[in-house]
Structures are given as structure tokens and as C-alpha cells.
């Protein structure tokens, strides 16, 4: 069963200028905080978070940094700050291994996800077919309204391609997702896809903030009305009644 939508923002948060102001300890102070999860079946080479985006060292696939491998927990964690429309967005990136033995761990990260990349390898028809399973997991475990983007990775390996670009576009259309073909080796569309998913998450936050503003305004107006109706008659009215 799909999990009900959860509020991304504490009720005490307020948008001041272009920054979100929230209570200490909320994790939202000074900027919008987003959690992006990367899922899918990926090879070790060129499959994880690109070094140039995550801030790690290495030069893509020609001389990969061994430290880029996923840890024994099956999940790699990075932090990145992106500016979208003048608003700084701090994003947590959880890159899962896409391996069967890590699926229980992966499902735990769905619950906090605000944006999810569903990744397949363009040189693997099997990984493409497996996207339907990942979508099913997202529908079951992620919050309602989570933002999603479909990624066809390893676009630099054109000679090994088994999944056409049109197939990726069609699948993304069926699921109502944006679509990018990327390469962690050449950094093709890496920044663009992360920025786009961050934009979608931020748009969701803006809608929620506006909803909070409207709700707060309505509650204030109702409270003022109840206070006005509860006031006793003033001295002027009492005096007028006596003279009658």
C-alpha cells in the first residue's frame, strides 16, 4: 500500500526572502534541504555519483578512484549545494548499489526521499526491464508526490547500446517522468539531471509553503472573527439601552 504524503516542512518554518528559516535542529535552517535517492541496476564502473558532482577525486572512467566504490552497507552518501532560481538548496544524495542483497536497506531510504533517480544501463536490456520493479518499490515505499526522473546511464558506451533512446523516452512518458541519458565518465547531463530533480523538489516545497501560508491566514482570520463575536456589548450600547 502506498504511504500517505508526509509534510516536508516543519510548521514553524517561514520563507524569509529567498531563504527558509526554521527552528534549530530541524535541518532546514538557512536553506532548503532536499533528499535525493539514486536507485537502479548499475555497474561499478561509471555507475555511481560522478566525482565532479560529488566533490570526490578521480577522472571519470579512464582512471576511476577506488574510493568511488560503494561501501559495504550498499549505500554511498554525498552532500551538495545547488542554487535554483536564487534559492540555495542543500541536497543529500543517497546512491544505492542496486543489488538484491541491499534492497531492504534501499527501501528504508525511500521513506525520506523527496526526489528519486531511477537508473538503468543503456548497454543492458535487463537493467532497463528492471525499472518497472523499481517503480513498483517507489510506489509502495516512497511518500506520495515524490519527484522522479528516469536516467539512462553510460551513454558514452554507444557501441554497446542495447536500449534505444526512444525506449527510454517512451518509458519515462508512461510513468510521467523527465528523462535524461547521462554518462558518469564524460559528465553528460549529470549536472542538468541533478538540477532538474532539485527544481522539482523545490517546486513541491513552494507549493507546500504556499499551502501553509493560506492555512495560517485562514486560521488567523477565523480566530479574529471568533474574538470579535465573543466581545460583550460596549458601554455606548449599554447607555443607549438605559435611556430607551
**pLDDT per residue as tens digits for the range 156-169:** 999 999 999 999 99
Q: What are phi and psi of 97, to 5 degrees?
A: -75, -25
More confident residue, 104 or 150: 150
Is the backbone of residue 240 left (phi > 0), alpha (psi -120 to 50) or beta? Answer: alpha
Q: Burial-class residue 126 by CB neighbours within 10 Å (0-12, 13-18, 19+).
A: exposed
Average pLDDT, the chain: 71
pTM of the full predicted structure?
Answer: 0.67
What the chain holds in terms of domains, given with CATH numbers, is 14-207 (3.40.50.300)
- pLDDT value at 211 more than 50: yes
- pLDDT value at 72 more than 70: no
Amino acid at each position: 500500500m502506498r504511504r500517505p504524503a508526509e509534510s516536508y516542512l516543519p510548521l514553524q518554518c517561514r520563507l524569509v526572502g529567498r531563504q527558509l528559516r526554521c527552528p534549530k535542529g530541524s535541518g532546514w535552517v538557512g536553506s532548503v534541504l532536499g533528499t535525493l535517492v539514486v536507485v537502479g541496476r548499475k555497474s561499478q564502473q561509471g555507475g555511481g555519483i560522478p566525482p565532479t558532482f560529488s566533490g570526490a577525486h578521480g577522472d571519470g572512467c579512464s582512471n576511476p578512484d577506488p574510493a568511488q566504490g560503494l561501501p559495504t552497507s550498499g549505500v554511498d552518501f554525498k552532500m551538495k549545494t545547488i542554487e535554483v532560481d536564487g534559492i540555495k538548496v542543500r541536497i543529500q544524495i543517497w546512491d544505492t548499489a542496486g543489488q538484491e542483497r541491499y534492497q531492504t536497506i534501499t527501501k528504508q531510504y525511500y521513506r525520506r526521499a523527496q526526489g528519486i533517480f531511477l537508473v538503468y544501463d543503456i548497454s543492458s536490456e535487463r537493467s532497463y526491464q528492471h525499472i518497472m520493479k523499481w517503480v513498483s518499490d517507489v510506489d509502495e515505499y516512497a511518500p506520495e508526490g515524490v519527484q522522479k526522473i528516469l536516467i539512462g546511464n553510460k551513454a558514452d558506451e554507444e557501441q554497446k547500446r542495447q536500449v534505444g533512446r526512444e525506449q527510454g523516452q517512451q518509458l519515462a512518458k508512461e510513468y510521467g517522468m523527465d528523462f535524461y541519458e547521462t554518462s558518469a565518465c564524460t559528465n553528460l547531463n549529470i549536472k542538468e539531471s541533478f538540477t532538474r530533480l532539485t527544481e522539482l523538489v523545490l517546486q513541491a516545497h513552494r507549493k507546500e509553503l504556499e499551502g501553509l501560508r493560506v492555512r495560517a491566514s485562514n486560521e488567523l482570520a477565523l480566530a479574529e472573527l471568533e474574538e470579535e463575536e465573543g466581545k460583550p456589548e460596549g458601554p455606548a450600547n449599554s447607555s443607549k439601552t438605559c435611556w430607551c
